[in-house]
Chain A
Amino acid sequence: MTSSGTKQNLFNRVWDEHTVGTLPSWQTQLFIGQHLIHEVTSPQAFQMLRDRGLKVMFPERTMATVDHIIPTLNQARPFVDSLAEEMMSAIEKNCRDFGIILLNLSDKRQGIVHVVGPELGITQPGITLACGDSHTSTHGAFGCIAFGIGTSQVADVLASQTMALGRPKVRRVGVNGRLAPGVYAKDVTLHVIRKLGVQGGVGFAYEYAGEVFDRMSMEERMTVCNMSIEGGARCGYINPDQTTVDYLRGRSFVPQGAAFEKAAKWWLGLASGPEATFDDRVEFDGSAIEPTVTWGINPAQSVGVNERIPTASSFPRDEQAGIREALTFMDFQENQPIKGTKINVAFIGSCTNSRISDLREAAKVAKGHKVAPNVRALVVPGSQNIREQAEKEGLNEIFTAAGFEWRGAGCSMCLAMNPDKLVGREICASSSNRNFKGRQGSPTGRTLLMSPAMVAAAAISGAVADVREILS
């Protein structure tokens, strides 16, 4: 059931605007206003077009960049990894052949696809956006509908600027109250996932609403929407408001002058109003959220930094085997405090937390301290623009003086497709989005997810620490 007029929420409004028709399967053919591609999930899609003799229907509505396999240390071509080099050559050729703009390594606008889209103003309210990457949900921070898709769907969007989809339900996730100092957007999203579970969002689009999101900057909102997929939601979004408009004004891909004012009016008019209806609603108290750290092998397996790792028996019976599997893999004991857990690696980066505000918060913690002995710490900015901005502000000097490595832009150790990897059983305090087994490049490596400030705190402490104790 969907409703119209003032009762319609943003998701259904945007969905209806973009509906091309109904397919024989009764799925919706949905127009995709903006397509983003990268080197990992696109080569097979271009091959599908070639096999059928198809062209890209709206080449100006696809933007390409390179991020997943980019080395962050030595970026000289050809890359040392010949497979990575082959993927680079493929995206370069595909973009050339099909007339798509590529923000390549030599372009100062290059960076992680979910960082670059917003930064350049390509991501705008009220559009539909798709990208062959699950963290495409990030873009929902602007009040657009943003879907992560597979490679077949990348081909669909390239060839038709549309895709086949069933309409999800919409759940309003309300978080009110005021966050305590030292509690960040990352903690909010980890908290929501902990409470609703990694599959709680299946079948839903999440609308995040309430005072906590109203007060957030666009970058914080991106962190929240980014992790929607970790809670199982098909996408997540926040209604556009003045913060959204102010962020976008003047960015290179947004309209300028009178056209911008016209755009802003349209954007703000899309927001779910007070009478909007939803298929489901949940509420959380923001003031109760603590700096949060994962202890297990999925992003819902987390605790507040001052809590203890739970016992398997505290979970419903059918979840206990999974909890024990996680405890065994992590080599943690039930009831063990998470604070004080020794780490080997600290990683600040990824499409979740590699933006300038993340680096500023982490630098505040790192300033005047030293990375603990035996801890390898790296900071990987999300884009070349962020790297340059951070250098202007002297953040790189704060980090390097403390003993962090300062790297080039890319996805890096979030998924370790490039040379940045954990080794053996190393434990990494990470500002990324997934603590899955083997995610950071070593099949037996272990990941503790937390905010960038908490990663910095762990790096200088050599162990999981409460960032509030360092900041005060």
Chain B
Amino acid sequence: MQKIEQITGRGIPLVLDDIDTDRIIPARYLRCVTFEGLGEHAFEDDRQQMPGHPFDDPKFKGASVLVVGRNFGCGSSREHAPQALMRWGVKAIVGESFAEIFFGNCTANGIPAVCVAGDEAKKLGAALAAGSATEITVDLVNKTVRCGGNSIPCTMQEGARQSLVTGNWDFLGQLVEAAPQIRQTAARLPYMKNFA
């Protein structure tokens, strides 16, 4: 898999707390057997209800680094949420914190979701909204987020960071390689033999 060490792109601000995955992609769009076409429906209902939503703002067209608030991606485990964001164009997410299932789904799709201090996320978002900043770099090797002349520290669950920077985020490939050890583990669990 591709090593993901650094992502640079135009930023888009959505610095609100507790944005759930139903808001990222409403459940009616989960009636599908592929992830195709989800990008155009990202934040569909929010965009209807919030005129000038950043996802509709021409200023942020083509942006790829999403800046969010606290507990982003909470709620439903739907992988359709990071898939919708990815297909809209998001390649990295910077925020105060992420819900864990969403975070895992991002990593599985090669989208780094990194944490910065809450006030830093707000400052970044404000700079993007004001147009005083446009480009953001998420640097997973040096654990920094850079924007304008500023460099701020970011954190990420170490296992996920390692998997991205070493190009080992294709878990499926790694997991199946351990077939003998998997069978050994299964053999020592009493319930796998139905307690016979």
Name A's B-contacting residues (CB within 8 A): 17-21, 23-27, 29, 31, 33, 40-41, 43-44, 47-48, 52, 54, 57-58, 68-69, 81, 83-84, 86-87, 90, 124, 126-127, 132-134, 136, 148-153, 155-156, 159-166, 168, 198-199, 202-203, 229-230, 232, 234, 255, 259-260, 262-263, 266, 298, 318-319, 321-322, 325, 415-417, 434, 436-439, 441, 443-444
Contacts and interface: CB of A to CB of B under 8 A. Distances in A.
Contact of A124 (B104, B191, B196): B191
B30 A417 contact: yes
Contact of A24 (B17, B101, B158, B168): B168
B195 A152 contact: no
A171 to B, nearest CB: 14
Contact of B71 (A68, A124, A198): A198
B8 interface: no
Nearest to A82: B31
Given A126-B191, A160-B176, A57 B182 contact: yes
B31 A318 contact: no
A84 to B, nearest CB: 6
Given A24-B166, A159-B176, A298-B20, A263 B30 contact: no
Given A21-B178, A232-B71, A417-B27, A150 B195 contact: no
B185 A151 contact: no
B172 A255 contact: no
A-B interface, 3 closest residue pairs, ranked by CB to CB distance from nearest: A150-B79, A152-B108, A27-B159
B16 interface: yes
B97 interface: yes
B150 interface: no
Interface stretch (B32-40, B58-66, B131-139, B141-149): B32-40
Contacts, number: 234
A148 B74 CA distance: 12
Nearest to B23: A437
A161 B181 CA distance: 11
A259 B193 CA distance: 10
Given A164-B159, A437-B23, A57 B104 contact: no
B75 interface: yes
B175 A263 contact: no
A448 B30 CA distance: 24
A198 B195 contact: no
13 contacts: A17-B188, A20-B185, A21-B178, A24-B162, A69-B31, A150-B101, A153-B105, A164-B163, A164-B175, A255-B194, A322-B18, A436-B23, A441-B27
Nearest to A434: B75
A134 B77 CA distance: 5
Interface string B22-66: 110011101111110000000001101100000000000000000
A298 B69 CA distance: 15
Given A148-B101, A262-B195, A266-B191, 9 more contacts: A21-B181, A25-B166, A127-B191, A161-B186, A202-B71, A229-B75, A234-B100, A263-B190, A266-B190
Contacts of A87: 31-33
A234 B34 CA distance: 26
B1 to A, nearest CB: 11
A325 B71 CA distance: 16
Q: In the complex, which range does the number of interface residues on chain B fall in?
A: 35 or more
A31 B18 CA distance: 31
A149 B74 contact: no
A360 B182 CA distance: 44
A17 to B, nearest CB: 7
Contacts of B160: 25, 27, 166
A29 B195 CA distance: 24
Nearest to B32: A83
Contacts of B82: 150
Contact of A149 (B48, B77, B80): B77
B181 A20 contact: yes
Most-contacted residue by chain B among A41, A151, A416 (CB, 10 A): A151
A443 B31 contact: no
Given A318-B118, A319-B17, A417-B28, A152 B171 contact: yes
Interface in B5-25: 16-18, 20, 22-23
Given A20-B178, A90-B33, A160-B172, A25 B159 contact: yes
Contacts of A47: 33-34
Contacts of A24: 162-163, 166, 168, 174
Interface in B150-180: 157-160, 162-163, 166, 168, 171-176, 178-179
Nearest to B163: A25
Contacts of A26: 158-159, 162
Interface string B100-137: 11001100110000000010000000000000000000
A255 B174 contact: no
A54 B163 CA distance: 22
Contact of B20 (A54, A132, A436): A436
Contact of A160 (B159, B182, B190): B182
A134 B97 CA distance: 18
Contacts of A33: 189, 191-192
Contacts of A443: 26, 45, 48-49
B40 to A, nearest CB: 16
B22 A439 contact: yes
B99 to A, nearest CB: 7
Contacts of A325: 16
B91 interface: no
Given A148-B77, A234-B100, A417 B185 contact: no
B182 A20 contact: yes
Nearest to B184: A20
B171 A164 contact: yes
Nearest to B180: A20
